Structures are given as C-alpha cells and as structure tokens.
Structure 1
C-alpha cells in the first residue's frame, strides 16, 4: 500500500527537536521521523549535575515522543537537498518532504590556546560530561579544579563541585555572570564565596597544562583538572550540506525559520540564526523556536503562508549547588532588570523548572497543540535576504 503522507525528518532529539516532532502530530497525514545519535533524551540543563554525580541527566523517549513518531538512532551526516534525502552515518538515507533542523549546539575548546584541546574538558554534550565525570572520579578529593568561563554553565558547574567539597577556581576572563544585574551578581558571588569557590574575574587563561593553567600575565596556577565552559559551537551538518551558515555554523533562516537556501528546511534551537541574528543559546529559546518551526512546516503542507516567529524572555534561573539558586528577572529582550530572587527557596524553583521541561515534552506528546511561547520580544530591523546572504 502506498504511503501518501508528507514525510518530515527532524534532525536532533533535544528540547527543540522533540517538541517540534510532537507538534507535527497536529496533522494525521504526516509521517514523522526523529533522528538522534543517542537512544535516550539528554537533559542538557542537568549536565553539570551529571558531572557532579547528582543526576543521570537522561530520560527515556517512550514518554516524551508522541505515538507514531519513528525514532532512528543514528547521526545525520549530510542533507542532500537535490534528492531530498538525509544521509546517515550507518543506516540508509531517509527521504523527506521537509526537514526540521534541530541539531543543537556543542561545547568547544579554542585551538588557539596551547594545551586547551588536549587537557581541557568541555561539558556541553552528554559524552563530554561523562568523560569529565570519570576524570573527577579519579581525582584526589583535595585536587584543585579550574573552571574556565563565567556564564551559566561555568557558574553551575563550579558551585555543584564546590558544594561537594572540591577545591574550585572559576576563571571568568571578564565579568562574573555578564547577563546578571549588579545586585544579582553580588548575590551569586557571595554564595560562591560561602562554597569556597575562588573567583578570578579579569584573569585570562593563555595556556592549559595537564597540571596547571597559565594566565596572560605569566602566572601559573595548579590545576589537576580544567573544565572549559567559555565557548559554544554547533555541528557542521548545515555547512556540509552546502547551506548558508553564520560564522559558527548556525543555519541562516528567514523570519519564518526557513533556510534562505531551501524552503523545505526549517530550523529550531541553538543551530538557528534567523536573518543572521540568532537568539541566546538556551533551553528557553529552543522551547520557543520549536513549535513555531513545526507550525511553519504545517503551514507549508496546508498551502498557507507561515507566520514570522515571535519570542520573549522572562528571566534566567541559575543553580548554585543543590541548596541555593538565583532567579534573575529580565525584560522581554533578555536584558536584566534589577529584580532577582535568591536562596534555598529558589533552588526548589530551579528544580521545578528542570522537571517542568520534561513535563512540557510529555504534555506535547499527549497534546501536540498544547505548545506555548512568549511574545513581544523586539527583533532588530531585518536586512533584506540578499544582504543576509552577503553577510553569510
């Protein structure tokens, strides 16, 4: 019997890909295939807990994916736009009518810093966090650990390890928590001091050794293990497929999240750069991109014009170990206000947020129409598509 359903291949089974795949079920004439390199869902917002041994940071897809979605465990290596197939590392290529490109992001270590790629540990992916967890298990309890990068990942990793009694130094290379308001930053710094974290704000790492870090001023500080959280990149699938990307490899799209090269490819999550003006890489962004990317595909299937995407932010919640956290309230454009909340009650809020992300995915598996996203965040004036292509 011929299957006349529209074939949609979702590449990437993270927050964005899973939510988008579920929302596509709003039509019953769509065949949905989700391609993911792992058989389990990875809770990236808990990878710092995996590193510290306080959470497994995975969940089964059984309850997260709606009925009828095919899960293919493999890695996409190329999108063949001419033949409309997604080539896989080990399995036969998958034919498609539309692709939702949701490959996410990964941790990167700069090749320009001597020793960094050899000795530093990124933690943005599950396998990276597992490798770091194993390295920590082999350390003496009093061995010094250096965390490089003062964004959310660096702060959460440093405090999680320090709470367990590890000797941790956080090297900011600039301001601690640059997205925080000054009052919230002081609060976070105070909590870190209580946990024993040494914060070095203005110092810059110039070299990483097996047993030390070297700073730009020539100072050498012992480090039995160096964690690198100061940079993110994206998989190179879009570039390998001949599609326009920004400087770090995010797929450039228009304001409907559609690739500027191919109307059959729609992006969601950390790997998307709408009009070459990407939003912050985070779960909050992915959960807003995803349903709108799915809606763009559904609109094209229905023969209607897709809507331009909308977004807004409400704040950021940062765990500071298991017993404290900080909630920074933001404006819709993601800029920090002076309002923040901190302490043990906010740790419970942060845990609720983490659990809530899985709850939202399970809800979307049961009710694909139930997705929600904020609106009203300002977008910069968008350049014409020919200018976007020139920028790429």
Structure 2
C-alpha cells in the first residue's frame, strides 16, 4: 500500500465477520485511524453479536445479555452492512453481499470463523444438533425441556472443551436427563493428570456417563452407534466434533489449506493476495512451536495484531511477525464449578491448575472479557488483549 496516497483519498477497509475477531479488528482500526481518510465496513449476516463462548449456556435454556452490533459500533464511524458475503473478487478488490450488493476494498480482513462440521459423522447432519448459531441453540434448549419431562437421554459427541462444557451444563440445568459423553478420546486428554482427575470427579458428581475409546460411526434418530456396534440411546444428540470453515475463500481463489483456512505469512497476510488478512479460526497460522488451533484465546490476538499491522503500514513503518503462545485451558463444569489448566506456549499442560470457586471466577472473567475489550478499544488505541508467552505483545506495534 502507498501510505502517502491514503492521506488524500479514501482508503477502504472491509471486515468480513462480526464475531470476536472481526469486531475487535474493526473497532481497533477505527480508533487508530480516526485522523485519517479511512472507511471501515463490517459485514455480518446477523444484527446481533453472538457470544460463542456462552453458546452452551443458551443451549440449556439460560438467558444471556443481548448485544446489537449497531449498538456496539455506535460512535465508531464503522459502517455495518447486515448480509452474507457470497463472493470475493480478490483481483478487483470487491466483495459481493447476498449475491447482489458490491463493496470495494483496498484491504480485506477475513474473519468468518468456524463451526462444528456436522458432515464429519454419518447421520449427524440429519439427526444431531450443533452449537453453530443461537437460534439452533434456543431450539435445542426447548427440546431438552421436553425430553427431561419424560426422563429422556442426551448424548454429547466429543470430549473436547466444548463437549465437556455442554455436557456439564446440560446435566446441571436438567438433572432429570441421562447424559452420556461419547468420544474416542478421554475427557480432558489435553490437560495434566491432576486437572483431568478433577474434571472426571466433576463428571461423576453430575452423573454424566462416559462412552470412551470407540469411534462414533453413525448418529441415528434415537441413538449414537459406536464402531463396535454399541448403541447409546439418545432422545437428543449434540455433536461438537469436527471443525469446518466457510468455503468462501477457497471458492474465491484465495490460497487455503486442506481445511479451507486462508494460508497466511508471518504477518497474517494471505500468501496469494497480500491485501487480504485472515484472523481467528479462518486463518492457518503457524508459530515456531507449531500451528495455532482455533480458540478465542488465539483469535483475539490475531485481530489486534492485524489492526495494528495495517496502521503501521499506513504510516510507512515495518511490521514485526506475529508471535503468540497459549496460557490456559479454561473449562466450565456447569455454573458452580470449573477447572483451569495453565499451559506452555504450545498449549501442552504446565505444572499449575486451578479448581473450584476460584476457577469459576477465572472462567467467568475470561468468558465475559471480549465485550468489555470492545468498549475499551473504542477509547484507547492499543488495549492489551492477553499476555503473550510466544513473543512480544501487539502493544509493541503501536
């Protein structure tokens, strides 16, 4: 980009996706470019901001605060376009929204996130629920109430962090249901031995049955089938296994990996189209210790970094490579319990962990932090997103 030209002509920045990462990138850019001729447009299909960290709470019937995207952006100067990006012309610098409207851009931030891949297990698309959007989660919550009234059963497929949190919330909020956690891997397998033992005691306390060590071969209307032929009865099945990203980047000729994520360089720019930046779950980001996996913990720093990197380039300054390291694995075990495994930079377990009320407070702080960060980012130019263990914080880009 030519920094001099941006002083006299409008520079167009388009952000696709108003999740945690897209929202932070847009707001941080608006605050840091407010004295420049820069137009920022944020595109998302929903009028409401979705707290994906709390989707398992919605799925068990809990009422959460509602945030309208327009209200969050009020006063920032960001233009919000409600619609779905359906095509990107990466050569001409154009985004098509809902198949008709066209937005031109000088730089694009691709922040479309990811969701559970219901095609990963045969029958899941037809018979299983996911936590991919609030409307589906609300409908699942209604079905849980009906199933509990008749003493029914629920199967949760996948024992990763999302599966564990969903299973424990269901068991705590609906004690009349029989809940089974189904997975080929042990719950908490990413944690240290002591934290994992605490997690399993919590599952026992909540009466959650585990079906562990068998591959799930099929989801049926009223059961989950395992590789050995075992059937796990289930009035409702919730799947949290497998990750999919939107196919938009691949369909638009942008370089992607085998999972459809945008392949980026050390500064999170597309290797095929340098005026496109990818952040969060939709980006294939490598660090010296390995590849980042999609979480809010890693996504928010990518958003802050890209916003700051764009500003530095507009000022004609060099940009240091993105550096990140994980610090924790926070897992809610219902509303009254939690376990926090502190980690090394590569997300392998460290020596320390936290449990009980202190862990609940820690987890709630983590889950609620993105929205306050948006507010702070409207007022201050370089709000720290999280401590880094893999390198210097993005604050050094200010």
Q: TM-score by structure 2 length?
A: 0.89
SS of equivalent to 2:49: strand
| CA deviation after TM superposition for structure 1 residue 183, in Å | 0.9
Of 162, 167, 176, the residue aligned with 2:171 is 162
Q: Is the 8 A contact 1:312 1:376 kept in 2?
A: yes
Aligned to 1:390: none
Unaligned 5+ residue runs, structure 2? 1-7, 392-398
* 2:33 corresponding residue in structure 1: 27
Contact 1:203 1:216 in 2 (8 A): yes
The answer as to whether partners of 1:44 and 1:57 remain within 8 angstroms in 2 is: no
Kindly state the Cα deviation for residue 375 of structure 1 after the two structures are TM-superposed: 3.2
Kindly provide the CA deviation profile for residues 306-329 of structure 1, in whole angstroms up to 9, marking residues without a partner as x: 221111221021110011011111
Residue 58 of structure 1: how far off its partner (Å): 4.1
1:199-228 alpha-carbon deviations (Å, 9 max, x no partner): 222122211111111111111221111110
Change beyond 3 A, Cα 1:10–1:343: same
Question: Is the partner of 2:101 in helix, strand or coil?
Answer: coil
| Structure 1 residues not aligned, in runs of 5+ | 379-392
Bigger shift: 35-44 or 341-350? 341-350
- Could you state the TM-score of these two structures normalised by the residue count of structure 1? 0.91
2:22 equivalent in structure 1: 17
> After the TM superposition, which of the residue ranges 326-335 and 246-255 deviates more from structure 2?
326-335
Moved more, 189-198 or 56-65: 56-65
Check 1:55–1:178 CA distance in 2 against 1; reply closer, same or farther (3 A cut): farther
Using the TM superposition, give the Cα deviation of residue 64 of structure 1 relative to its aligned residue in structure 2, in angstroms. Answer: 3.1
Seen in structure 2, the aligned counterparts of structure 1 residues 53 and 191 have a Cα distance that, compared at 3 Å, is same
2:129–2:140 Cα contact (<8 Å) kept: yes
CA drift of 1:90 comes to 5.2
Tell me if 1:237 matches 2:237.
Answer: no
Q: Quick one: distance in 1 between partners of 2:14 and 2:291?
A: 23
Which of residues 134, 143, 148 is equivalent to 2:152? 143
Displacement of 1:93 in angstroms is 0.7
Are the counterparts in 1 of residues 25 and 307 from structure 2 also a CA contact under 8 Å? yes
Deviation (angstroms), 1:182 = 1.2
Please show how residues 112-131 of structure 1 align to structure 2 within 5 Å. 113-131=121-139
**Matching of residue 317 in structure 1 with residue 317 in structure 2:** no
The match for 1:100 is 109
Deviations 1:94-147 (A, max 9, x none): 011100111111111235x43222101121333442342243243243110000
Query: Quick one: distance in 2 between partners of 1:173 and 1:80?
Result: 41
Look up the match of 2:12.
Answer: 7
Among residues 177, 182, 192, which one is paired with 2:188 in the alignment? 177
State the alpha-carbon separation in 1 of the partners of residues 189 and 63 from structure 2.
27
CA deviation profile, 1:13-54 (whole Å, cap 9, x unmatched): 011111111111201221111001101110000000000112
- Residues 310 and 374, structure 1, Cα contact 8 Å, conserved in 2: no
SS of the residue corresponding to residue 7 of structure 1 reads strand
Cα-Cα RMSD: 2.0
Equivalent residues of 1:244, 1:260 under 8 A apart: yes
- 1:81 Cα deviation from its structure 2 partner: 1.4
Secondary structure, aligned partner of 2:281: coil
203 and 341 in structure 1: CA distance in 2 versus 1, 3 angstrom threshold = same
**Residue 178 of structure 1, CA deviation:** 2.1
Q: Deviations over 1:69-106 (max 9, x none)?
A: 11111011111112211111155110111001111111
User: Residue 256 and residue 87 in structure 1: after superposition, are their counterparts in 2 closer, same or farther (change >3 A)?
Assistant: same
- 1:162–1:197 Cα contact (<8 Å) kept: yes
CA distance in 1, matches of 2:386, 2:368: 18
Task: State the SS of the aligned residue for 1:109.
Answer: coil
2:161 to 152, 163, 167: 152
Find out whether 1:189 has 2:205 as its counterpart: no
Specify which of 50, 66, 73 is matched with residue 42 of structure 1. 50
1:186-335 map, 5 Å: 186-274=197-285, 278-335=291-348
